[in-house]
Amino acid sequence: MPVRSGCRRVSRKVMHIHRYVLAGLLAASSVATAQSRPAVSLPAAATSAEPPAVLESTIVRAPGPGLWRVTRGENTLWVFGRVSPLPAGMVWNPARIRSIVASADAVIAEPSVMVGADMGFFAKLALLPSLIGVRDLPDNRSLREVLPPASYARWARLKAQHRGIDGSSEHWRPMFAASAMYDQALRERGLSQKNVVGAELGDALKARGLKITPASATLTIAEPRKAVREFKATQLADVRCFDRVLDQVEYGMGTLAERADAWATGDVAALRRLQPASARHECEDAVLSGSFGQKYGLDTLQAKARARWIAAAEASLSSHHVALSVLPMDEVLAADGVVAALAAKGYLVQAPDEQPSNAPAAPVAAAPSSATTVR
């Protein structure tokens, strides 16, 4: 889930978990560039390596899938699932979202955590020098020293295939090194993690003058300098995260491209079939559930944020005729996602291909002006 500090968002993207530490936990995002990076996903099964072909996008104004409909009585919460990565040149058609925002009584943000520091802007500026080296392994160790031999051999082989990775990555924590390789692999395939849906939603909300309802859990770090020192000295249990991300690099790029195609063309059945296993849990646990995360209360934030989204959704369904929320597709489709949690509470949840023909429909985007196939 996204990580926010102050008014600026740092995505939940685990592959850039150092952004979580730098911009979220350590409250430096007010002076650093925040990026939106959704969680990295892995295919359920990896069988063979794929050639690093560049993804060709022929999409113009791709509509994306229809919206999931959650109802109780006469009230409806429309849920739009976003996918990342997508082709770098793809342009999304936001007609459905804009139409719903135009008539919505509420828009609910996706679950997020807000991590700040009990300090002012200039104190945050002064904190920045202490962040240098935060992604490095403690005691100047190297990946060769901390990884199992098989994992390091795999890293070295893939690094030779995916050139352009920072040379200093040999001394980075495994999860950060894997992040750099994943990003390079995406670039080589013409894939981008830019959150095109979030940008369009923001424009629609601004045009309507509608404020978004937060669904966040907040934590304030009283002594951020101390937290930085402790994090630098902590050896994270991130080898499982490292291995899972390299699975994606070696085997999963084709699946990501296929899922992008399914999303762009609105193929809900394919999105279900391509619903991936995720590296998120292994990578998040490396920081959030270890001794460092437990000490600062990071291990409980995500559950709190998800509970607040569910509470906000229930409140909306009890008082608003029309509401909207944009969520990562895994939260929409997963058996343990927040949409499934609403279904378990007795709300009627209908996927786009499950809604009866006589049901009130979400607005349909205008057809794209050219082919919508991602190759």
- pLDDT, the chain, mean: 79
- Residue 360 — pLDDT band, cuts 50, 70, 90? low
- Residue 290 — pLDDT band, cuts 50, 70, 90? confident
pLDDT (tens digit, 9 = 90+) per residue, 243-269?
Answer: 999 999 999 898 998 999 999 999 999
What is the per-residue pLDDT for 107? Answer: 96
What is the per-residue pLDDT for 44? Answer: 34
For the cut 80, the answer to whether the pLDDT of residue 220 exceeds it is: yes
Span 296-324, mean pLDDT? 94
Nearest alpha-carbon partner for 199 in 98, 68, 74: 98
- Residue 3 — pLDDT band, cuts 50, 70, 90? very low
Q: Is 288 helix (H, G, I), strand (E, B) or coil?
A: helix
What tokens does 352 get?
A: 């786009």
For the cut 80, the answer to whether the pLDDT of residue 179 exceeds it is: yes
What is the per-residue pLDDT for 370? Answer: 39
Distance (Å, whole) CA 216 – CA 302: 9
- Of residues 352 and 33, the one with the higher pLDDT is 352
For the cut 50, the answer to whether the pLDDT of residue 74 exceeds it is: yes
Burial of 64: CB neighbours in 10 Å, binned 0-12, 13-18, 19+: buried
What is the per-residue pLDDT for 343? Answer: 98
For the cut 60, the answer to whether the pLDDT of residue 275 exceeds it is: yes
E strand residue ranges, 64-105: 68-72, 75-82, 86-87
What is the per-residue pLDDT for 215? Answer: 95
What is the per-residue pLDDT for 200? Answer: 87
What is the per-residue pLDDT for 121? Answer: 56
Q: Give the strand pairing for 68-72 and 191-192.
A: unpaired
**Percent of the chain clearing pLDDT 90 (strictly above):** 44
Over the Cα atoms of the chain, what is R_g?
A: 21
Distance (Å, whole) CA 251 – CA 119: 44
Distance (Å, whole) CA 216 – CA 1: 10
- Residue 132 — pLDDT band, cuts 50, 70, 90? low
pLDDT (tens digit, 9 = 90+) per residue, 181-206?
Answer: 999 999 999 999 888 888 889 899 99
What is the per-residue pLDDT for 240? Answer: 92
Span 52-80, mean pLDDT? 77
For the cut 80, the answer to whether the pLDDT of residue 368 exceeds it is: no
What is the per-residue pLDDT for 154? Answer: 98
What is the per-residue pLDDT for 234? Answer: 84
For the cut 50, the answer to whether the pLDDT of residue 369 exceeds it is: no
pLDDT (tens digit, 9 = 90+) per residue, 76-127?
Answer: 999 999 999 998 888 888 888 999 999 999 999 999 887 776 666 556 556 5
* Residue 278 CB partners (closer than 8 Å, separation 6+): 39, 40, 41, 42, 330
Query: How far lies 336's CA from each of 54, 217, 330, 333, 342, in Å?
Result: 34, 19, 9, 9, 10
For the cut 60, the answer to whether the pLDDT of residue 208 exceeds it is: yes
Q: What is the pTM of this model?
A: 0.79
